[in-house]
Structure 1
Amino acid sequence: MKSQEEVKALLIPILEKHGECFQKFLCIKAKSAVPGEEVITRTADGVETVNLAEQGDWLVENQTKAKERYLVPDKIFQDKYELQESNGEWKKFKPKGKIIGIVYDKSLFHNNDFQEELVFEAPWGEKMRLRKGDYLVCPPDKTEVYRIAKKEFEETYKPC
């Protein structure tokens, strides 16, 4: 498994050269996460990753067919989402952030570095699998790299 630093060194130059700007257009539901709560993120192709909630995290639920759930630290959440509706425990938020992204495939590599599946450390320290056809993404400040499954990406993002 590659560390987040190793994967950033390997893949950020590719994102800088070939990546495109995308913006999330689908609203999300979110609520305050319970510290210590285990959140298993599931996409249409199975378990993506596992994370433990910390104080101040938000539990986010995408409004895709998979309804995948994941945790977002408060600072990042405030930068990426704007409150739309507040009625009950779950609140509706409009996305406002952008990402740099690219489809992960062999054409990105000039030698034998390509792997059909790349396992690496997600920004929150857990294992993440990047599969051929998934989207490799990072925020504009390039502080982290992560995967968004192909089906969920296409349900959620559009070019800037």
Structure 2
Amino acid sequence: MDRLAREDENWDPQLPPTSEQIGAQVSRVTAALFVQKTGFVEDITLSTVGERQTGLFRMQRNYSLMISENITNSRYLNSLAYREDTEILPLPNFDGENPPQFPETVGEFWRLNARDVTFLLNFYGIPNNGTLEKRISRLARHCRVNRPTVV
């Protein structure tokens, strides 16, 4: 505990150490043992590992938010398309991947064959039951693709 007193100016020898002081000491001992056993001199304290984990969680959260924003933007832009020749955007799935085969226009979307509808429903994790008309309508709701209007 004498070493703890030297490294923590708030330590009072008359009082038992706080959990923060004990945690800091454990971090220092862990880092010292790591360096002693491996010869690796990088500062590997528990707080550093915690900071790295926090940074990783933030990156994952930001990536998830970016995917969610991309899905929202694609849906919004698709919802504005009404003409058969208007381009639409593929929606990424929740892993951020775009489907390899997605129709380019509103008209192509509504003319998808059963195999392509099945593929896209499975890609997005949407139930794949019912008639082709019901399945394509379900996919259209998910992607926010409107039926083309006659001009």
Question: What TM-score bracket applies, with the shorter chain setting the length?
Answer: under 0.3
**Larger Rg: 1 or 2?**
2
Q: Which has the higher strand share?
A: 1
TM superposition score normalised by structure 2: 0.22
Which has the bigger relative contact order, CA under 8 A and spacing at least 6?
Answer: 1
Q: Which has the higher helix share?
A: 2
TM superposition score normalised by structure 1: 0.21
